Amino acid sequence: MIPGVDNLPVLETEFLLGLRKGDKRNKTAKSILSRAEEGKMDKVVIAGSAVMEIAFGLRGRFDKPDIVEILELIRGMTPALPILNLDMDMIIEGLKIELRLPDSNLFDCLHAATALRHDGVIVSSDPFYESVAGMRRLDLSELLHE
C-alpha cells in the first residue's frame, strides 16, 4: 500500500481512459492492473460512477454496439479490480458536493462521494478533488509507490 496512507483508493474515469494503448497514462494503468492481478491492489476499487460516466458520455457520438464493446473490454481487462457501485447515500452526498461547489461536474461529484464512502482517497490528476472537504487526491503513479 501507499506509505503512511491507510486507505482504500478509488479509481475514477481517468484510469479507465488510461487503459487505451495510446493514452499517456497507459503504462501506469497497465502496471496497476498487473499489481491488482498479483493481489497487491486488493483494496483498490473502481467507482461505479466512472463506468456510468463512460456509458452516458459516449451516447450520441458512438454507436450503441461500440459502447457495449468498450464496456466489455474494460470489464474484461479489470477482473481484479472490484466496482464500487453507487447507492442512494452516495448519490445524495454527490449532489451535496455539487451544491457546495457550483462549477463542478455531476460525475466528478459522484466519484468524490464514492471515494468519501471508501475512506476519502481518489486516484486522479484532477485538482477539483482537492476542493472537496475530507478528500485526498493521489496521482495514478502514486498508487505504484511502495
Partner 1 sequence: MTIEILEVGPKYNITLKKSLRKALGIEPGRLLIAETRGDTLNLRALPKDPFERLNTLLGSIDGRELSRAAEEQAIREASKALGKKLTLDTGG
- Contacting residues toward partner 1, per CB under 8 A: 13-14, 17, 19-23, 26, 30, 52-54, 56-62, 66, 69-70, 72-77, 105-108, 126
Q: Cβ closer to partner 1: 1 or 71?
A: 71
Terminal-to-terminal C-alpha distance of the chain: 6
Q: Helix/strand/coil (H, E, C) string of 3-69?
A: CCCCCCCEECHHHHHCCCCCCCCHHHHHHHHHHHHCCCCCCCEEEHHHHHHHHHHCECCECHHHHHH
* Minimum distance, C-beta of residue 42 to partner 1, in the bound complex (Å): 20
Q: Cβ closer to partner 1: 56 or 87?
A: 56
* Minimum distance, C-beta of residue 62 to partner 1, in the bound complex (Å): 8
* Minimum distance, C-beta of residue 45 to partner 1, in the bound complex (Å): 19
